[in-house]
Structure 1
Amino acid sequence: MSEGFNQSRVFYLLVKGLFKGALSLYFKVRVRGLEGRELPSPLIVASNHCSHLDPPFIGAFFPGQLCYLAKEELFHNPLMGLALRGLGALPVDRDDQRGSSGPLRLMLKLLKEGRRVLIFPEGTRSPDGRLQPLEEGVAFLSLKARAPVLPVFIRGTFEAFPKGASFPRPGRVSLSFGDLIWPQGFLQDGAPEREARSHMLKAIGDSLMVLSEGHD
């Protein structure tokens, strides 16, 4: 699943540009919190998740290359598979998803290679558009790889393309990026790993909640 991953920068920028142009034409898009920022590598971009539109939106408007995981079935269509790979997606089969160690190992490998990865810490799409409880994998990865977390809250994709919809509706979509959350502060004074994970997960959840309360 993970061996030999080689993300072409030229192809990535081409696909990203096409998606960004198409999304900007179809939706009214606003991006906040990235102006004038220099982001480190490795990096975990942690987003809420309520629509299949979330990965292409974040991939298109994030200033740099991202890697993320997507269901293997989405790659069965050759054109869709080419586009997903172009945007940095890696296929994960159902067995890998049922046992989280496989995806976590892959994400950790990518982070240790100095890459930036996109993670949806809720684990699945929200059924009502509201932020769901976070799974601890995002904090585990950050602490293990010593990679900071950049929270982002995406709003409007649930209304545009919720579960069960056959085609997205045009509308407003906003992406709000928060402050970096560094793992080192949670490891001070020899705190046990489980305790550090719990505190960091709370900090990520609190940041996403604050970002969710913003207004367009």
Structure 2
Amino acid sequence: MKIFAKIRGIWATVVIIVLVTFNIFAFLIFPKSYYKKIKIFYTRAILIFLGIKVVTEGKIDKEAKMIIMNHSSFIDIPVIEATYPFDMVWIAKKELFDTPFFGLLLKLPENIRLDRQDKRAIIRLLKEAKEKVKKKTIAIFPEGTRSSKDRLLPFKPGAKVIADKLNLKVQPIVIVCARERFDSKKLELNPGVIKVKYLPSFEAKEEEEWLKNLREEMQKVLDEEKRKLCPKA
């Protein structure tokens, strides 16, 4: 029932705020070399408290330096942080960095800020990404924001520009049923399984229209997997 989903959603929000607070304090206390372990600990704790189980499918390519994911819920980030074995740096819009409290969660581990209003932002973005990719994997939601429907939003060109210019190997990831488990816009929580499906990686330079084709491929996989894992009533 909707009312119970709302109550659970409020519970989830409280849990996330509390654990994020502890996460921020941990970032401030411990050296940066511990950041990946800290993120894994707290994101797994969030999933446990919310009653969410993550199953993975497909092979993770350790040589891929960019991972691209669909985005439908706030829980997408904890799901990836809790299960992806390599350290990563997120690309996020400037407005999120400027958010009180939660902005620290982006700033402290030195994620990459994207200012869409600044015409010179792409130059700084490429420079920073080139430096960060030496030690970390770049993680990006090409839709740019959370989708509230079953269709993926149009992919913004930033991911393609970075991957093409830096000759990165890209691995797509499809996150299945995240919004159905925790709708962070409606604030509804329905515990259950979220699937993280790793698709085959590829070299960005090999195909000119790869971003457009990738969106279509990810949509097809998402539709198929949702029919099995969280079909509409």
Sequence identity (%): 22
- Residue aligning to 2:91: 69
Compared with structure 1, are the counterparts of its residues 68 and 153 closer, same or farther at alpha carbon in structure 2 (3 Å cutoff)? same
Compared with structure 1, are the counterparts of its residues 108 and 155 closer, same or farther at alpha carbon in structure 2 (3 Å cutoff)? farther
Confirm whether residue 18 of structure 1 aligns to residue 62 of structure 2: no
Compared with structure 1, are the counterparts of its residues 13 and 101 closer, same or farther at alpha carbon in structure 2 (3 Å cutoff)? farther
Structure 2 contact 170–202 (Cα < 8 Å) conserved? yes
Q: State the Cα distance separating 1:12 from its structure 2 match.
A: 2.2
Which deviates the most, 169-178 or 44-53? 169-178
- Residue aligning to 2:213: 203
- Residue aligning to 1:49: 71
- Residue aligning to 1:157: 178
1 CA distance for matches of 2:116 and 2:203? 27
Task: Report 1:2-13 matches (<5 A).
Answer: 8-13=32-37
Compared with structure 1, are the counterparts of its residues 17 and 163 closer, same or farther at alpha carbon in structure 2 (3 Å cutoff)? closer
Q: For residues 158-183 of structure 1, what are the alpha-carbon distances to aligned partners after superposition, in whole Å with 9 as ceiling and x for unaligned?
A: 12333533364422211111011212
- Residue aligning to 2:63: 40
Q: Which amino acid aligns with 1:124?
A: T
Structure 2 contact 129–162 (Cα < 8 Å) conserved? no
Structure 1 contact 181–204 (Cα < 8 Å) conserved? no
Compared with structure 1, are the counterparts of its residues 164 and 184 closer, same or farther at alpha carbon in structure 2 (3 Å cutoff)? closer
Compared with structure 1, are the counterparts of its residues 123 and 108 closer, same or farther at alpha carbon in structure 2 (3 Å cutoff)? farther
Q: For residues 118-173 of structure 1, what are the alpha-carbon distances to aligned partners after superposition, in whole Å with 9 as ceiling and x for unaligned?
A: 11111211121421221222111111010011111112221233353336442221
- Residue aligning to 2:15: none
1 CA distance for matches of 2:142 and 2:125? 15
Structure 1 contact 44–142 (Cα < 8 Å) conserved? yes
Compared with structure 1, are the counterparts of its residues 168 and 9 closer, same or farther at alpha carbon in structure 2 (3 Å cutoff)? farther
Q: State the Cα distance separating 1:112 from its structure 2 match.
A: 4.5
Q: 2:80 aligns with which of 36, 58, 71?
A: 58
Q: Which amino acid aligns with 1:110?
A: A
1 CA distance for matches of 2:220 and 2:178? 18
Q: CA RMSD in A?
A: 2.7
2 CA distance for matches of 1:58 and 1:22? 12
2 CA distance for matches of 1:8 and 1:100? 31
Query: 1:67 is paired with a residue of what secondary structure?
Result: strand
- Residue aligning to 1:190: none
Q: Which amino acid aligns with 2:159?
A: V
Query: 1:124 is paired with a residue of what secondary structure?
Result: coil
Q: For residues 67-104 of structure 1, what are the alpha-carbon distances to aligned partners after superposition, in whole Å with 9 as ceiling and x for unaligned?
A: 11341244x22xx4554456664555xxx133475267
Unaligned runs of 5+ in 1: 1-6, 187-195
Q: Which amino acid aligns with 2:128?
A: K
The runs of 4+ residues in structure 1 deviating greater than 3 Å are 80-92, 97-101, 166-169
- Residue aligning to 1:142: 163
2 CA distance for matches of 1:202 and 1:164? 27
Compared with structure 1, are the counterparts of its residues 84 and 136 closer, same or farther at alpha carbon in structure 2 (3 Å cutoff)? closer
TM-score, normalising length: structure 1: 0.74
Query: 1:98 is paired with a residue of what secondary structure?
Result: coil
- Residue aligning to 2:153: 132
2 CA distance for matches of 1:55 and 1:31? 15
Task: Report 1:100-119 matches (<5 A).
Answer: 101-102=120-121, 105-106=124-125, 109-113=128-132, 114=134, 115-119=136-140
Structure 1 contact 111–147 (Cα < 8 Å) conserved? no
1 CA distance for matches of 2:195 and 2:129? 28
